[in-house]
Structure 1
């Protein structure tokens, strides 16, 4: 009897445990179903294939490494299902690994910078050569050294010449005659002999002929040449001395032949900045004075002459200066970085960044180059973004994708034609 009671009690406990466990499993199943229904799994785009970063032709169906030891990168299928012709999609992580960079197409004024060097020379307008207008002897020399600074009106030398003496006598005779025409003719003769007005006024005042005619400096400057000494016999063809004014100098600069067109088109919009390593804190602004018409055959360079103000007298002839030029065009152009170009034998392309990891290669027509930029004549618009780094890999993918889509389209067209031909044959 006691055994029967224990058996009934054990059976009741087992039944109760089974009921509780079934209720728990049912509640858990319903809860998990609610969670799954509330949070559906998002489907990521599938991977089409894996490609080498540096070789778009090396493809595999699974991850691995390229022959260069680089990890293969995945190429995903277009999740939207409406793949455009030649559009390549790259995830943000892959783009960062490849170092993809982009720049905006800008409508702006082109600028061209260049550097060169040049030699400082005397300005031709500021260099004066003095000659004797007649033969004679240098009786007095008031200057002693080449490079000596002189002031305008300072006495330079005195010459004894019979022609100078005869001209003075003729002027005195004209003064005594009180004949205006004779006085004017005699004075013109003295001026033609480059006799200074000081000498003429003294002659008119003292009525005394000077045996030695003194000549004076026509301008401020430095003695650049000194070819006479006291007692020397001189002739009109001899250069007695030369005076150079250093307030304005010239700089002859050799420029690359590629800048010749720019200089002829935009000469007034060029900034010429000159500097010297001897005076690193000083800069001078040059002014374009002359463009030589001939190019240097050996160096393939074009020479230009610049005018430079030298009021502080820091620059000296025969010094060398560094030049930095900046040319700004008068009209705006569509510009992109020149490193974005993909140039082949028959075509020039760039890779456009369409946004959201999509890229596409487009053909462009280019114009002039401006240092790191290039002018776009056709193919892009202002505001577009183009790839400036890692564009060669994307371009290869875009071209391969375009070729595959063209092949698929031709195959579909061919199959459609075959089907239509079979249907017409069946009708007959």
Structure 2
């Protein structure tokens, strides 16, 4: 029994020894094969470099640092050789920026060709309804007196032409009537008298009649006075036009003085729409052109009129010029004081070079577009713009017909600081020629000429860095946030808690303190770290610890 066990043990040892020898041989052969492969790989660039011209070595992290000879970066990574004729490795021109194809797809960059178009546009302006100043009448006695009776005693009451408004008593009026009546009777009694006496009495009657006419006594009243010779104690004032009483100062029994306006009547059968047109559009507006007026009170109706006058003055506060449009007021629907939206069609000036309005990045001080110069290459170009339509804008200078311009990307630019961050974000090539991590902007492409050297470890002011962490505090007034973040490999930072500046307050969205986040930031200037992309990663979780 003991002898059988020894035989079995010996057999097991022999099998293990054989297997070990086989494994060692295989390992040795594999190492030899790997070495051979490595040698071939190492020899490949040397062989290729004879066929292709070596330009320089670039920083593996994409920093603006090149070297004419092989070297390592501070993290011990080898600089990447750049050969002539390689599109992904060729530096962008001095006036261009470059991103990888993967980055183009992730940003959602889309371009459209600038074309010659006829810009048919409509100038839109806010306006208000006002009465026609030529259709406003004031009823003003020209003598002193008292209001005896009111026939129209409320403001806003519609009146017809010739309708009685009020009656007045005036001692002067009574005296003038008696004087005229006596003169008229004297003419009749002096028919047989000499010519000189008759002539004098006729002049007195004419003078009294003219006085009454100048006081706006109607012809009907004068004829009745001349016929009967009876003076009227009161005089009735009537509406000179059919319209609406817009102002009433007369009170029953009140005393009035010459020239005092007691009533105001407006004819509202036609009204003015005064539109405030912005300064940059006023050169397109011409008198005589048709206009469309819309009122919020009648959303299903459109009123048409004609531009009759462009005012010669500009409102310095709103930078607008008033434009008058005359509109027929059928059914008295348009009330003075209503707000209106006015559309003024503008004649086109012919075919002009146009681009979509979304292609323009307006920083407030300049307007730029991004020209697609090639695959992954873009050229920022300042442009001078002209007239606009709803979707296109004229380019006076900066873009030619047929040039492709970028019209869409997945970022929003609303201030000069954001403009710099956005343009900086375009100027990054992928690390080592590979795709950037999701949500992370790629490092910048080299832009130095062959043989130029830069300080080792120099960094682009717009190089992107990405990490995760916890949102500790938000100060929207100061535009800053406090974040406890994990390690940042691109900066060799350990985890820590620090303050960051927001590129714009809209990045916060619905995030609250305590939320777990991932974010991308840049160094806008020494010591100022600006977050350009921020997103929540789910429920709140403990902050990353330093070195964790």
TM-score, scaled to structure 2: 0.47
Shift of 1:310: 1.5
Question: CA separation in 2, counterparts of 1:57 and 1:344?
Answer: 27
> Secondary structure at the residue paired with 1:165?
helix
- For the pair 1:197 / 2:219, whether they are aligned, the reply is yes
8 Å CA contact 1:137–1:234 kept in 2: the answer is yes
Selected match of 2:264 from 242, 262, 266: 242
Question: CA separation in 2, counterparts of 1:402 and 1:326?
Answer: 52
Shift of 1:152: 0.7
Selected match of 1:322 from 333, 340, 343: 340
More off after superposition, 210-219 vs 321-330: 321-330
Question: CA separation in 1, counterparts of 2:269 and 2:365?
Answer: 56
8 Å CA contact 2:127–2:341 kept in 1: the answer is yes
8 Å CA contact 1:56–1:396 kept in 2: the answer is no
- For the pair 1:131 / 2:140, whether they are aligned, the reply is yes
8 Å CA contact 2:109–2:407 kept in 1: the answer is no
Shift of 1:275: 2.6
Structure-2 change in CA distance of 1:218 and 1:90 (3 Å) = same
Shift of 1:263: 2.1
Question: CA separation in 2, counterparts of 1:364 and 1:385?
Answer: 15
8 Å CA contact 2:167–2:235 kept in 1: the answer is yes
Residue segments in structure 1 that go unaligned for 5+ positions in a row: 1-54, 59-75, 411-428
More off after superposition, 83-92 vs 162-171: 83-92
Selected match of 1:374 from 369, 373, 393: 393
Alignment of 1:149-168 (within 5 A): 149-168=158-177
Structure possessing the higher relative contact order (Cα contacts under 8 Å, 6 or more residues apart): 1
Give the structure 2 partner of residue 108 of structure 1: 118
Give the structure 2 partner of residue 20 of structure 1: none
8 Å CA contact 1:271–1:325 kept in 2: the answer is no
Structure-2 change in CA distance of 1:273 and 1:347 (3 Å) = closer
Shift of 1:326: 3.8
Selected match of 1:361 from 363, 366, 379: 379
Structure-2 change in CA distance of 1:140 and 1:345 (3 Å) = closer
Give the structure 2 partner of residue 293 of structure 1: 313
Shift of 1:99: 4.6
Question: CA separation in 2, counterparts of 1:296 and 1:232?
Answer: 44
Question: CA separation in 1, counterparts of 2:362 and 2:173?
Answer: 78
8 Å CA contact 1:105–1:386 kept in 2: the answer is no
Structure-2 change in CA distance of 1:228 and 1:97 (3 Å) = closer
8 Å CA contact 1:292–1:302 kept in 2: the answer is no
Question: CA separation in 2, counterparts of 1:186 and 1:311?
Answer: 45
Shift of 1:218: 0.5
> Secondary structure at the residue paired with 2:134?
helix
Structure-2 change in CA distance of 1:385 and 1:131 (3 Å) = same
8 Å CA contact 1:348–1:364 kept in 2: the answer is yes
Structure-2 change in CA distance of 1:341 and 1:311 (3 Å) = closer
Alignment of 1:404-415 (within 5 A): 407=449
Shift of 1:279: 2.0
Question: CA separation in 2, counterparts of 1:155 and 1:303?
Answer: 41
Count of residue pairs the alignment pairs up: 327
Question: CA separation in 1, counterparts of 2:204 and 2:392?
Answer: 74
Shift of 1:132: 1.6
- For the pair 1:223 / 2:245, whether they are aligned, the reply is yes
Give the structure 1 partner of residue 236 of structure 2: 214
8 Å CA contact 1:276–1:322 kept in 2: the answer is yes
Shift of 1:281: 1.1
Residue segments in structure 2 that go unaligned for 5+ positions in a row: 1-60, 65-84, 189-197, 410-421, 430-443, 453-548
- For the pair 1:335 / 2:354, whether they are aligned, the reply is yes
- For the pair 1:310 / 2:329, whether they are aligned, the reply is yes
> Secondary structure at the residue paired with 1:140?
strand
Selected match of 2:406 from 378, 383, 387: 387
Q: Deviations over 1:332-359 (max 9, x none)?
A: 443322332357899865455689x797
Compare the two structures and name the one with the higher helix fraction: 1
- For the pair 1:148 / 2:157, whether they are aligned, the reply is yes
8 Å CA contact 2:248–2:262 kept in 1: the answer is yes
Shift of 1:313: 0.4
Question: CA separation in 1, counterparts of 2:396 and 2:299?
Answer: 41
More off after superposition, 246-255 vs 342-351: 342-351
Structure-2 change in CA distance of 1:156 and 1:112 (3 Å) = closer
Question: CA separation in 2, counterparts of 1:216 and 1:95?
Answer: 79
Shift of 1:212: 2.1
